[in-house]
Amino acid sequence: MNYETMLKVARAISMSKDAEEVMLLTVESVKTALEVKGCALFLVNRKTSELEVGASYGLSEDYLDKGPVSALRSIARSLQEGPVAIYDVADDPRIQYPEEAKREGIASILSLPIMVHGNAIGALRVYTSEPWEFTLEDVNFAQAVAQIAGMALEMARLYSGLKDSIEILKMRRDPKTLKSKKWTPYEGVPVSVLPGKA
């Protein structure tokens, strides 16, 4: 791994304004750079406490559809404490679906949190087909990419919200839909929330 690879990955991810593209670039970059079996990016569903697949590269649909991945059970420590490396998926109680992992040909997993403003919004997981002692360099690279992905996902979310807001404002200012030519602070606000109407 070298700085040139890191720079290339960072540039590609940070240039995207689309969340799906950010996730796809992330998993493809990590798999290719580390030359591993596969990589997946999961996002935390706060309502169900499950990790939902945002994007994956190198893994089969059968493995991805194995069942709900619990954020509380499946290598849960990586969401709270940082990177977790599992050398042997067949003999580790932290693996939620060991049989499915064996069938997929997965030997080792590295799980890293994706953080935004100090909160874990998901996990980046690296899968190998051979037992793998992840080096500090491997972990640092994947962790840096996970951080960049987290920032890029947050920026994509903000950009999407900003675009929606601009479209709403354009529609509100369209002369065909505007009730009066005068812009007031309460224009478009339901009567029930106007001052003195409660």
pLDDT at position 173 is 64
- Whether 127 is in a domain gets the answer yes
pLDDT, one tens digit per residue, over 72-129 is: 777 877 887 889 999 999 888 889 999 999 999 999 999 999 999 888 899 999 999 9
- Whether 92 is in a domain gets the answer yes
pLDDT at position 6 is 78
DSSP run (H or E) holding 115: strand 108-116
- Whether 130 is in a domain gets the answer yes
Contact assessment for residue 63 and residue 31, using Cβ atoms and an 8 Å cutoff? no
Segment 18-35 shows an average pLDDT of 90
- Closest Cα to residue 148, out of 4, 2, 9? 9
pLDDT, one tens digit per residue, over 95-109 is: 999 999 999 999 999
CATH number at residue 60: 3.30.450.40
- Whether 192 is in a domain gets the answer no
pLDDT, one tens digit per residue, over 55-67 is: 999 999 999 999 8
Share of the chain above pLDDT 70, in %: 80
Total domains in the fold of the chain: 1
- Whether 59 is in a domain gets the answer yes
pLDDT at position 128 is 97
- Whether 174 is in a domain gets the answer no
pLDDT at position 15 is 80
- Whether 191 is in a domain gets the answer no
* Res 198 pLDDT > 60: no
* Res 165 pLDDT > 60: yes
Q: For the whole prediction, is pTM greater than 0.85?
A: no
- Whether 16 is in a domain gets the answer yes
Domain of 144, in residue numbers: 3-160
Tell me which long-range contacts 28-31 makes (C-beta under 8 A, separation of at least 24).
Answer: 28/57, 29/145, 30/124, 30/126, 30/141, 30/142, 30/145, 31/57, 31/58, 31/126
